[in-house]
Amino acid sequence: MTLTSQLVEPQRPRETSRPRTKLKPAVLGATGYAGQELIRLLSRHPGVAAPALLNRPGDDVQEDFAISSREMDWREMAENGVGLLFLATPHAVSRKLVPEALTRGLRVIDLSGAWRLKQPAHRAVYEFKDDDPAVAEECTTRAIYGLPELHRDAIAGADLVANPGCYATSVILALAPLLKAGYVDLARGIISDSKSGVTGAGKALTERTQFVSVADNLSAYSLFTHRHVGEIAEQLAIESPDLTFTPHLLPVPRGILSTIYLRLHRRSTIDAMEKCFRDFYAREPWVRIYAAGGLPEIRFSLQTNYCDIGFRLAEDGLRLIVISCLDNLLKGAAGQAVQNMNLMYGWDEKEGLL
């Protein structure tokens, strides 16, 4: 039996500005940094009832986050009117739980990387071992990549939204306008030096994320092997070798700054570059384009759902550097998840995020 034949069609929002009753969500993964941010945002959202916390901040959670579909109390969630499930869980956990959630008529926003990638070659980096590969493939097909600036209409009707990665969001939003306009000389390659605060590495303590390793330090990691490379390549419709992506760990709690180097096919001007960005994001409430010469900094986007983008063009009109900044726990995780929820239920995209 295929997943499609088992699915219960989730209830779609009525064509009104606000539902008659508040949406009841559930959150699994409330112990993590992104999960805690998500709870904070949902608790103040005017269209949302208090979320059901399937594990709470401070709860002891085993290192491998061992939970199976059978251990989830699906019946209790149904009895409490839960319609939307947020998963702020490790990738393998989301991979196990999502098929069952969909068969029970729940809509899902998954903050892990379990369902972001369509191409098997890119997905191989996760080494998923699916109980039912056919069902997993069907979920992969129906999952919508949750970057509203690229997929707003599809997100609105989705029952499974794969929330983007934080690094990936910063790089994709910086490059999408230029690639669509045909400016980028891919034969010369794109280089992205991306730097993240320590919360981007997750809550589990490792030698790399201990204070003595992070403080007064800056380090690179996962050279040529980072999982976000395939994600960026798929969304920008480029080949993985076209992008050299190097992540770095900053000695700060949160925030991402991506410095992206590229060459243009033809000489351009500052005005043309600024117009390219402003036209592409003219109706986007959560992307801020800096005036020519202005450059974003991590501190300006912290505690917000904004992605800030600025650039400099060399005097030769061919070399372009783009700077992209965001808060990895908000626009890079929980804030973007709430933005996606707003789209799925027909609410203002800024609801609960200002």
pLDDT, tens only, 65-86: 334 444 678 988 999 999 999 9
Q: How many CB atoms lie within 10 A of CB 326?
A: 33
Q: How far is Cα 338 from Cα 42, in angstroms, rounded to an integer? A: 8
pLDDT digits (tens, 9 = 90+) for 31-63: 889 999 999 999 999 999 999 988 744 454 433
What the block records as the tokens of 298 is 């991590």
Identify the burial level of 291 via C-beta atoms within 10 angstroms of its C-beta, where 0-12 means exposed, 13-18 middle and 19 or more buried: exposed
Quote the pLDDT of residue 293: 82
pLDDT of residue 239: 96
Is 166 annotated in the active site?
Answer: yes
Q: CB-based contacts of 202: which residues, under 8 Å, 6+ apart? A: 32, 33
Domains of the chain: 3-163+333-344 (3.40.50.720), 166-326 (3.30.360.10)
For the CA atoms of 111, 115, 117, 121, what is the dihedral angle to 10 degrees? Answer: 130
Report the pLDDT value the prediction gives residue 322, as an integer from 0 to 100.
98
Average pLDDT over the chain, rounded to an integer: 89
Q: What percent of the chain has pLDDT over 70?
A: 90
Residue 9 has pLDDT above 60, yes or no: no
Q: In whole angstroms, give the CA distance from residue 69 to residue 49.
A: 25
Quick check: 175 and 264 in contact, CB under 8 A?
no
Name the 3-class secondary structure at 41. helix
pLDDT at residue 211, rounded to an integer = 82
Q: Distance between CA atoms of 342 and 354, rounded to whole angstroms?
A: 13
What contacts 260, CB < 8 A, 6 or more positions away? 171, 174, 175, 190, 191, 192, 193, 321, 322, 323, 324
Name which of 115, 121, 169, 165 is nearest 142 in CA terms: 115
Which H or E run contains 5?
A: helix 3-6
Task: Report pLDDT for 61.
Answer: 42
State mean pLDDT over 331-351.
98
Q: Residue 130: pLDDT above 60?
A: yes
Element (H, E) at 27: strand 25-28
Higher pLDDT, 204 or 227: 227
* Structure confidence at residue 214 (pLDDT): 84
Q: Contact, 249 vs 218, CB < 8 A?
A: yes
Q: What is the pLDDT of residues 164-222, one digit of tens each?
A: 999 999 999 999 999 999 999 999 999 999 999 998 877 776 777 788 788 889 999 88
Q: Own/partner pairs for 74-83, CB < 8 Å, 24+ apart?
A: 74/100, 74/101, 74/104, 77/26, 77/52, 77/106, 78/104, 80/24, 80/52, 81/24, 82/24, 82/25, 82/26, 82/52, 82/106, 83/10, 83/11, 83/23, 83/24, 83/25, 83/107
Sign of CA dihedral 190, 262, 152, 299: positive
Catalytic residue among 139, 166, 307, 325: 166
